[in-house]
Amino acid sequence: MKTVLLMRHAKSSWKYDDLKDVDRPLNKRGKKDAPNMGSLLEKKNKVPELILSSSAKRARQTAKALAKASGYEEKIQYFDSLYLAEPQAYIDVLRKTPDELTKVMIIGHNPGLESLLQQFSGRVETLSTGVIAFIDLPIKRWKDLGNEVEGSLVALWYPDHSKKKKDKK
């Protein structure tokens, strides 16, 4: 059994009209939510063994703040291919994960992450900014991950300001 934690980057800023989308930073709320979600992972004993992230500035900032707050000490891996990616790009990156790792987090963007969540769980859920989906996958090796693998959505964790709360664990 493998676990994947899908996280949409924390809330980003639209303040600077001259920035390319890939260069947009986190806004004030995002800078608060990212470490809060890291603390949540630490409290729930769900700190990933590996964090894979889009290379977009808002995703990098989310990954760094979450990692620091959760106690994650490994290197974060950044991928240009995960910027505004479709589900297959996320799967391709996950398939290269060493098999000794059982809990991996991906930080990325919609609509690709929502589509990946639906593909992995069979459920349609909204991943607003800062939300983490905790999914168990019935595979022993990451390279066995494919479009036909259906796992189980165990929990959705929302930043504190959100009114939604879905948590089975």
Q: Output the domain CATH number for residue 150.
A: 3.40.50.1240
Within the chain, which residues score under 50 in pLDDT? 161-163, 165, 168
Indicate the pTM of the whole model: 0.92
Helices (H), 53-144: 57-70, 87-94, 112-121
pLDDT at 13: 85
Collapsing DSSP states into helix, strand and coil, what is residue 95? coil
Please give the torsion angle defined by the CA atoms of residues 143, 147, 152 and 158, in that order, rounded to the nearest 10 degrees.
100
End-to-end CA distance of the chain: 17
Task: Give the count of domains, the chain.
Answer: 1
The residue segments making up the domain with residue 71 are 2-167
